[in-house]
Amino acid sequence: MVTASSASSSYVEYGYEATGSFGGGFAGNGIQFGKEVKVTGLEFKNNQMALGQLYSPEIETFAYGKSEGKCSVEYVLSNPWFLQSIFGTAVSADAANPTVSGLRQHTWNSSASSAGMKGVNSLAVKLGFDVELDFTKTAVGVICPSVSLKMALNETIKVSQELMWGEETVNQTFSEPSGVPLAGAIPYTFVHASITNPLTGATLATLQSFDLNLNSNAELIYQMGTSDSVDTFRKILEMTGKAQIVLKSSAFLDSVLGRSETANNLVVTISNGASSSSNTTRNIVMTFTGCSFSVNSVSGMEPGELLLEDVDFQCKHVTVIAKNAQNSLPV
């Protein structure tokens, strides 16, 4: 009897490829994306071309183009390592201010002087299927053109990564996942997040939801003589988002009408609540500068219902600091 397969018999893990080794795969153990991982839109195509011929109503033969794979990975945020797919390798050092034994600080930033922004940090992604006829597929030279974070009341903080690649292999055997849960990784929820109001510098009160999009707009490079991708490049980094808050004043509408950058930074803090002087601290602080509001809208006006406004924004620059007990990216 053939038993139907469920996602409980499959897994996905990833690792970053070494600098200058696009398509080389990752060494060591894989990394778990986060908690409650979901993979959607998993696809690979060979860009088949059907060729006809004169004096024939049928297809005569097929030709094949470049290799293209893609998927979306969504998960509950529990570690900061997804940031490397957008900003490159972090600068890691002992945590300072205050200095705490065993606590490490990992810094990314989007400026041109940042070594991580001078290229694209490619990944390798491994998917295992423990089904009737087991197999494992590995995609190499994987890039992440966009990442989004979604925060909402009474919800976990969710990350979604769009992944693309131009080379994959299939092994007709099942290999166990090498990725293990990261030490101290917790599922972050809305209670772990706070956002500052870039108009005032104070914590943004009555925030209902917050969406953040980090788009490197990276693309794959192909060349003559092979159907696989051979390299990648990044375009202009776009950082956009939307906040939904209880309508209390015209401040955000005034900012849209004013057509200018905000006076203060937009700071997104995600923390497990541990004291900054404890080596159990697990936090991610994103400081956005050069922010401007582009759209203000009221979602609806109904008798007896709460008035909510949505404000769209875009930022020029970001510095991200994550603190945890990892010396560097786990392998």
* pLDDT value of residue 54: 96
Structure tokens at 146: 């966009």
pLDDT tens digits along 92-121 = 887 766 677 778 889 999 987 776 777 788
* pLDDT value of residue 180: 64
Judged on CB neighbours under 10 Å (0-12, 13-18, 19+), 141 is buried
Query: Quick one: residue 145, left, alpha or beta (phi over 0 = left, psi -120 to 50 = alpha)?
Result: alpha
pTM for this entry = 0.91
* pLDDT value of residue 1: 44
Range of lowest pLDDT (117-121, 129-133, 166-170, 289-293): 117-121
Query: Does residue 3 form part of some domain?
Result: no
What's the whole-number average pLDDT of the chain? 90
pLDDT tens digits along 14-64 = 999 998 899 999 887 888 899 999 999 999 999 999 999 999 999 999 999
Per-residue pLDDT band at 217 (split at 50, 70, 90)? very high
pLDDT tens digits along 145-156 = 999 999 999 999
* Statement: residue 66 has pLDDT above 60: yes
Q: Where in the sequence is the domain holding 77, given as residue range(s)?
A: 9-324
Query: Does residue 55 form part of some domain?
Result: yes
Q: Please report where in the chains the tokens 């510095």 appear, as a residue.
A: 319
Query: Does residue 1 form part of some domain?
Result: no
Query: Does residue 329 form part of some domain?
Result: no
* pLDDT value of residue 177: 81
| pLDDT average, residue stretch 64-69 | 97
Domain count across the chain: 1
Query: Does residue 4 form part of some domain?
Result: no
Long-range contacts at 215-218 (CB < 8 A, ≥ 24 apart): 215/145, 215/146, 215/147, 215/239, 215/240, 216/85, 216/86, 216/120, 216/144, 216/145, 216/146, 217/145, 217/146, 218/120, 218/143, 218/144, 218/145
pLDDT tens digits along 279-313 = 677 889 999 999 999 999 998 899 989 999 999 99
* pLDDT value of residue 14: 94
pLDDT tens digits along 195-216 = 999 999 999 999 999 999 999 9
Query: Does residue 308 form part of some domain?
Result: yes
Query: Does residue 242 form part of some domain?
Result: yes
pLDDT tens digits along 231-275 = 999 999 999 999 999 999 999 999 999 999 999 999 999 988 776
Query: Does residue 83 form part of some domain?
Result: yes
